[in-house]
Amino acid sequence: MSNAPSTDFVPNRKMEYRRLGASGLRVSVLSYGSWVTFDNQLKDDSALQCMQNAWEAGCNFFDNAEAYAGGESEAIMGRVIRELGWKRHHYVLSTKVFWGVDGRVPNMNNTLNRKYLHHSIEGCLDRLQTDFVDLLFCHRADPNTPIEETVWAMSDLVDRGQVLYWGTSEWTADEIRAAWEVAERHHLHKPVMEQPQYNMLERRRVEVEYKRLYEDIGLGTTIWSPLASGVLTGKYQDGVPADSRGALPGYEWLADRLVNDVTRAKVARLLPIADRLGCRLAQLALAWCTKNPNVSTVITGASRAAQVTENFAALDVIPLLTPEVMDEIEAALKG
């Protein structure tokens, strides 16, 4: 890898930095994540260029998970950040735990028990080459571990300084509220954020199920798959391209679930709106996600550095989404 030019973070005047729910932490409204791409599509040099492009666009939040590429995604991100020489207080780093990286060992996969959480954070920090992560997510709920055990263990990680804020990913509203109430009852560190899927085609959980949680407990959201795994770029309109995410081994389910006549019709109705605004459909879809005030940050992904630059150009589209345009988009989605 070659040395990158910019090590000091310079906020982009176009970028909005939103509070993560009721916390005081501020994250860029567009952020960058490594799901699918790191190791599968990007090795160190390409990942460096993607992260540097996001950084120069004003991104201060970078998302990962121990399960991504069996831990190699975290390792790549750790090496890249070291190579780039970023100052630790300039960026927000997250990872997620639940599935583990060794499915052969009891207590080390598909769990949120205290032992697993104790060991998993050590592995995450080692691969990321850092003393702490800003955000740690419980990647899924664990029906086989008492929620009190998980909440106490996560709160202990915060007390130990290995985690600054903890939260959940794809938990139900009832599960999130139950964890919050355990923490409230025992004066523990409460879950601050949730990482749900959210995009023009997948809206119920963020807009309906979690609605009470934003006001009641100050829940923040770091939403993933804002482009519906690429469907909202328009590239699946004529089938599944060979170089697309839906064509990767193990990810065929993405195309099977999302590429159908109904979604193609919605995309076809959205394309003229993007054309009239002078932007790409992907940029329209990313900008649309930011219009939800309960979205703290929109996690983008990219397999090429140029794609990162294109995605972050959605910052120019956000001001164009007037109430009238938002109504037009809503009508296109409803058909």
Q: What is the pLDDT along the chain (335 residues), one digit of tens a residue?
A: 444 456 789 888 999 999 999 999 999 999 999 998 888 888 999 999 999 999 999 999 999 999 999 999 999 999 999 999 999 999 999 999 999 998 889 999 999 999 999 999 999 999 999 999 999 999 999 999 999 999 999 999 999 999 999 999 999 999 999 999 999 999 999 999 999 999 999 999 999 999 999 999 999 999 999 999 899 999 888 767 666 666 667 766 666 666 788 999 999 999 999 999 999 999 999 999 999 999 999 999 998 999 999 999 999 999 999 999 999 999 999 98
Report residue 61 as tokens.
């939040």
Number of domains in the chain: 1
186 found inside a domain: yes
CB atoms within 10 A of CB 126: 13
Q: Is residue 162 part of a domain?
A: yes
C-beta of residue 132 within 8 angstroms of C-beta of residue 161: yes
- Residue 172 counted as domain residue: yes
194 in any annotated domain: yes
The residue assigned the tokens 């009721």 is 22
- Identified catalytic residue from 68, 165, 198, 210: 68
Length of the chain: 335
Residue 124 lies in domain: 17-229+289-320
Specify the pTM: 0.93
Residue 193, domain member (yes or no): yes
d(CA 220, CA 292): 12
Q: Is residue 249 part of a domain?
A: no
Domain annotation covers residue 278: no
Residues contacting residue 155 through CB under 8 Å, at least 6 positions apart: 166, 183, 188, 189
Say how far apart CA 157 and CA 207 lie, in whole Å: 31
Nearest to 11, CA basis, from 61, 71, 68: 61
235 vs 232: CA distance, rounded Å: 8
Tokens of 204: 């119920």
Is 1 inside any structural domain? no
CATH number of 192's domain: 3.20.20.100
Check if 165 is active-site. Answer: no
Instruction: Cite the beta strand spans of 262-306 per DSSP E.
Output: 297-300
